[in-house]
C-alpha cells in the first residue's frame, strides 16, 4: 500500500500548497468574529459563512509563512 503512494502516477494528486496551518491560525479568529457580528446564526450556517474567509486568509498568508521554507 505504501508503494502505491510513491508511484509517479499518484504523485500528481499531491497538493502543491498546504493551507492547514493558516486554517489553524485564522479559523478560530474568523469564527469568533462571525459569532460576534452575527450572533443569531446557527452553528452550521456560521461555519459555512466563515469558511470562505478562513480559506482566503490562509491562502493569502501561505506565501509569507510556509511558502518561503
Q: Does some domain include residue 56?
A: yes
The range of the structural domain enclosing residue 34 comes to: 18-65
Q: Does some domain include residue 35?
A: yes
Which one has a higher pLDDT value, 66 or 53?
53
Q: Does some domain include residue 23?
A: yes
Q: Does some domain include residue 53?
A: yes
Q: Does some domain include residue 25?
A: yes
> Domain tally for the chain?
1
Q: Does some domain include residue 13?
A: no
Q: Does some domain include residue 30?
A: yes
Q: Does some domain include residue 4?
A: no
Per-residue pLDDT tens over the stretch 9-35: 766 776 677 788 889 999 999 999 999
CA 1, chain centre distance (Å):
28
- For 55, what's the count of Cα atoms within 13 Å in the CB-facing half-sphere? 7
Q: What average pLDDT is seen over the chain?
A: 83
Amino acid at each position: 500500500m505504501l508503494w502505491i503512494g510513491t508511484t509517479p502516477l499518484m504523485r500528481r494528486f499531491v497538493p502543491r500548497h498546504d493551507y492547514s496551518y493558516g486554517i489553524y491560525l485564522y479559523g478560530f479568529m474568523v469564527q469568533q468574529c462571525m459569532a460576534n457580528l452575527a450572533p443569531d446564526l446557527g452553528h452550521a450556517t456560521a461555519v459555512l459563512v466563515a469558511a470562505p474567509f478562513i480559506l482566503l486568509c490562509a491562502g493569502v498568508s501561505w506565501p509569507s509563512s510556509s511558502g518561503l521554507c
